[in-house]
Amino acid sequence: MFDTRVCDLLNIKYPIIQGGMAWVATAELAAAVSNAGGLGIIGAGSAPPEFVRNEIKKTRNLTDRSFGVNVYFMSPYVDEVINVILEEKVQVITTGAGNPSKYIPQLKQSGTKVIPVVSSVALARRLEKSGADALIAEGMECGGHIGELTTMAMVPQIVDAVKIPVIAAGGIADARGFVAALALGAEGVQMGTRFVCAKECTANKNFKEAIVKAKDRSTVITGKTTGHPVRVLKNKLTNRFEEMEERCVSIDELDELGSGKLRLAVIEGDVDNGSVMAGQISGLIKDIKPAAEIIKDIIIDAEDLVKRLHNFI
């Protein structure tokens, strides 16, 4: 029922992509999602190239299915990580926090599918012209770095603006969000926060439990004054950010406050003083279960939902 162009493009069974979250999207999670019929993604973040290469090799030991790497364009290692992806002949690359246009020709020449994350129609059009194979339209409901438009408003506008497949992201965690994204014209979804709460995710249990305990208004946006706003769960760290931004401290001071805080939360489990990047959909997530169950439940429930919707026609 849900065999879209995204499935054909990425050689996957279901049009469900796992977000490439730094420190969170490791080989274990990527392989689990790919083995379940979706597309697992390794999050390169700001990691050095050899770390990324090792994660690619680990993923290949855990799955024989398609997977990808997310490249964060604010990393100091972008060129080196791109070279690793080319050398390892990774099937898919997703990109964020920058324009990957100059890398697209060589990536496509090596057989890698290029799928940038976009947050505006203008960028979507530009990247389609540059040769992107598909686009991830990510609304500001998502966790981590965000844009200004919501998923509901942005996705159909981008779908109308381009001819390549569009994948919706931001605020999607169950069958309802999946079907809604398809109704908006998307041909697949990307989910990040939902897959944090997969059993195979190696994030600290405190990080996962903070998401499970979250409510509808548990997230806030920090770093607005830096030009790089980030959505996270409220905690002591966000209170400090808020206080410092109200005092109009320098961007350098805010950057120093945020440095290393994602690792503090994800790896060390300090969810009071670390950066708990998670989307507004956190309030909907109530359990931790295998990635295969997450995907299976979405597909089964989505099929039932589509059948029920026919009753309104």
Nearest to 46 by CA among 12, 17, 70, 11: 70
186 token code pair: 């998307």
Measured at the CA of 64, the angle between CA 53 and CA 294, to 5 degrees, comes to 95
In the three-class reduction of DSSP (H, G, I as helix; E, B as strand; rest coil), residue 65 is classed as coil
The rounded Cα 99 to chain-centroid distance in angstroms is: 16
As a whole number, mean pLDDT of residues 243-248 equals 90
Tell me 11's DSSP state: T
pLDDT beyond 80 at 251 = yes
Specify burial of residue 129 (Cβ count, 10 A radius: 0-12, 13-18, 19+): exposed
Cα–Cα distance between 29 and 293 in angstroms, integer? 13
Identity of the amino acid at 32: A
Three state DSSP letters for 142-186: CCEECCCCCHHHHHHHHHHHCCCCEEEECCCCCHHHHHHHHHCCC
Contacts of 168 (CB under 8 A, 6+ apart): 136, 137, 139, 151, 155, 181, 184, 186, 188, 189, 190
For residue range 174-205, what is the model confidence (pLDDT) as tens digits?
999 999 999 999 999 999 999 999 999 999 99
Specify burial of residue 294 (Cβ count, 10 A radius: 0-12, 13-18, 19+): buried
Q: What is the pLDDT of residue 160?
A: 98
Q: What is the pLDDT of residue 267?
A: 96
Tell me 295's DSSP state: H
Contact 224, 311 (CB under 8 A): no
Cα–Cα distance between 126 and 220 in angstroms, integer? 31
DSSP code per residue over 225-282: GGT--EEEE-SHHHHHHHHHHHTT--HHHHHHHHTTHHHHHHTT--TTTS--B--GGG
Sign of CA dihedral 177, 181, 183, 187: negative
Q: What percent of the chain has pLDDT over 70?
A: 100
Nearest to 234 by CA among 283, 267, 169: 283
Among 143-152, 178-187, 249-258, the minimum mean pLDDT is found in 249-258
Sheet holding 219-222, edge to edge: 144-145, 230-233, 219-222
pLDDT band at 225 (very low <50, low <70, confident <90, very high): confident
pLDDT beyond 90 at 275 = yes
pTM for this model (two decimals): 0.94
pLDDT band at 135 (very low <50, low <70, confident <90, very high): very high
pLDDT band at 224 (very low <50, low <70, confident <90, very high): confident
CA dihedral 136, 139, 143, 146 (to 10 degrees): 100
As a whole number, mean pLDDT of residues 118-132 equals 96
As a whole number, mean pLDDT of residues 276-301 equals 97
Number of H helices, E strands in the chain: 14, 11
CA distance to 117, 143, 199, 309, per residue, from 312 (Å): 34, 34, 37, 6
Lookup result for tokens 């390549």:
164
